[in-house]
Chains A and B, each alone.
Chain A
Amino acid sequence: MRKTDQKRQHILDTAYRLFRSNGFEKTTMSEITAAAGGSKATVYNYFPSKEELFLECMVNITDHLLEGLFAGLQDPKADVSAALLNLGKDILRLTCTPEMLASRRLVIAEAARSGIGKLFHEKTLHYMQELAAFLRGAMQDGYLREADPLQAAYDFRALLEADILERCLLGATKAPPSAAAVSRAARNAVAAFLRAYAMDRTTSGR
Chain B
Amino acid sequence: MRKTDRKRRQILDAAYRLFRDNGFEKTTMAQVATAAGGSKATVYNYFPSKEELFVECVTSLCDHYLDAAFAGLRNPRADLSAALSRLSKNTPRLTCTPEMVAARRLLISNADHSGIGSLFYGRTREYVRDLADFLRRAMDSGQLRKDDPVLAAQQLRALAEAEILERCLLDAEAMPPSSATISRTARNAVKLFFRIYAPLRHATLDQRSASGDTVPDSSG
Contacts and interface: CB of A to CB of B under 8 A. Distances in A.
Contact of A166 (B121, B167, B192): B121
Nearest to B156: A162
A163 B198 CA distance: 22
A6 interface: no
Contact of B107 (A121, A158, A162, A170): A170
Given A105-B109, A105-B111, A108-B105, A201 B121 contact: no
A107 interface: yes
B117 A200 contact: no
B155 A162 contact: yes
A47 interface: no
Given A111-B105, A198-B207, A155 B172 contact: no
B172 A121 contact: yes
A161 interface: yes
A105 to B, nearest CB: 5
Interface of A is mostly: helix
Interface stretch (B10-18, B66-74, B82-90, B157-165): B157-165
Contacts, number: 107
Contact of B159 (A155, A166, A169, A171): A155
A41 interface: no
Nearest to B114: A171
A46 interface: no
A121 B196 CA distance: 29
Contact of A105 (B112, B157, B162, B163): B112
Nearest to B145: A195
Interface of B is mostly: helix
B178 interface: no
A161 to B, nearest CB: 7
Nearest to B211: A200
A109 interface: yes
A140 interface: no
A115 interface: yes
A108 B108 contact: yes
A161 B161 CA distance: 12
Interface in B79-138: 105, 107-109, 111-112, 115, 117-118, 120-122
Contact of A109 (B109, B118, B120): B109
Interface residues of B, number: 35
A167 B119 CA distance: 11
A161 B170 contact: no
B208 A172 contact: no
A58 to B, nearest CB: 11
B151 interface: yes
Interface in A111-167: 111-112, 115-118, 120-122, 145, 151, 154-155, 157-159, 161-163, 166-167
B171 A159 contact: no
B195 A195 contact: yes
A163 B207 contact: no
B170 A155 contact: no
Interface of B: 105, 107-109, 111-112, 115, 117-118, 120-122, 151, 154-155, 157-159, 161-163, 167, 169-172, 188, 192, 195-196, 198, 204, 207-208, 211
Interface of A: 101-102, 104-109, 111-112, 115-118, 120-122, 145, 151, 154-155, 157-159, 161-163, 166-167, 169-172, 188, 192, 195-196, 198, 200-203
Given A157-B162, A158-B161, A159-B155, 13 more contacts: A105-B109, A106-B109, A108-B170, A117-B170, A158-B155, A159-B158, A161-B162, A169-B111, A188-B155, A195-B198, A200-B207, A200-B211, A201-B207
